[in-house]
Chain A
């Protein structure tokens, strides 16, 4: 484990479903040491599994920490969020300093799914944070490997 020089940091996001085209999913994972893993799988049109790995700098990690802290996702909980279903599931796991969250919910198609849920405020924090994280990861992976990540 990391020593006390850095706050412990871990971030993992998964979104996917199993359907006609196999297990279609997107997942990325960050560790304190900067290792970023990205995986994207779809069997649509015989598409293959894309798996990339790289190491981001401490500056990038600290920017992810800032974005997460500002979102205040740590204050939320998923007890009233819609459960994963046939349409899909999302998982978000974050360790940031002493805080640890592990959320599981269904896919969220749009802000309307958020508004009509039992915890619109909490789910809205999640909804926008996920978009910001994906945007950042897609830029990093796309630029580093010159590939176009699929949403």
Chain B
């Protein structure tokens, strides 16, 4: 699996194989900044929660730039996760700590974490994990 990485790309995509654009970053570990802010994933959200509930819980920590509370396409209830974006790293980080410790949203505890991470160190991608 290790050296086959480029072959993998050529098989999957003809032509301009392996040319995927990404945001610039140094290598991991750690959370990754998105194009204009820091995005968090919130999990375990109550089925009947509304955007306002998520907004109210998170805006305590700073101004929210974006919020996606996606619905289950079949039931119309929330799917159970949300993505929340803050401009500032400190606000996002405070929200993770604060909300994970709190009662959550609509009385149900939720789990908050960074949504994106830096690319793992180049070496780590190719080699099998240490024995």
**Least CB distance, A142 to chain B, in whole angstroms:** 8
Contact of A59 among B12, B19, B43, B66 (CB under 8 A): B43
Interface size on B, as a range, is 35 or more
Question: Would you give the shortest CB distance from A140 to chain B, in whole angstroms?
Answer: 7
- In the assembled complex, which residues on chain B have CB atoms less than 8 Å from the CB atom of A53? 20-22
Contact B113 A52 (CB under 8 A): no
Contact with A along B1-37 (1 / 0, CB 8 A): 1000000000011001001111100001001101110
Is B43 in contact with A144, judged by CB distance below 8 angstroms? no
Q: Which of A54, A63, A146 contacts B32 (CB 8 A)?
A: A54
With A and B bound together, what is the CA distance between A62 and B72 in angstroms? 17
Which of A80-88, A96-104, A115-123, A130-138 touches B? A130-138
Q: Do A136 and B120 touch across chains, with their CB atoms under 8 A apart?
A: no
Complex alpha-carbon distance, A55 and B27, angstroms: 11
User: Top 7 closest A-B pairs, CB basis?
Assistant: A53-B20, A59-B113, A131-B73, A128-B74, A3-B129, A144-B34, A139-B68
With A5-B129, A56-B116 given, can you name 18 additional A-B contacts, CB distance below 8 Å?
A1-B128, A33-B125, A34-B120, A35-B119, A39-B20, A52-B20, A52-B22, A54-B22, A55-B32, A55-B120, A56-B117, A59-B114, A128-B74, A135-B70, A144-B23, A144-B39, A145-B34, A146-B35
Chain A residues in contact with chain B, CB under 8 A? 1-3, 5, 29, 33-35, 37, 39, 49, 51-60, 62-63, 66-67, 128, 131-132, 135-136, 139-140, 143-146
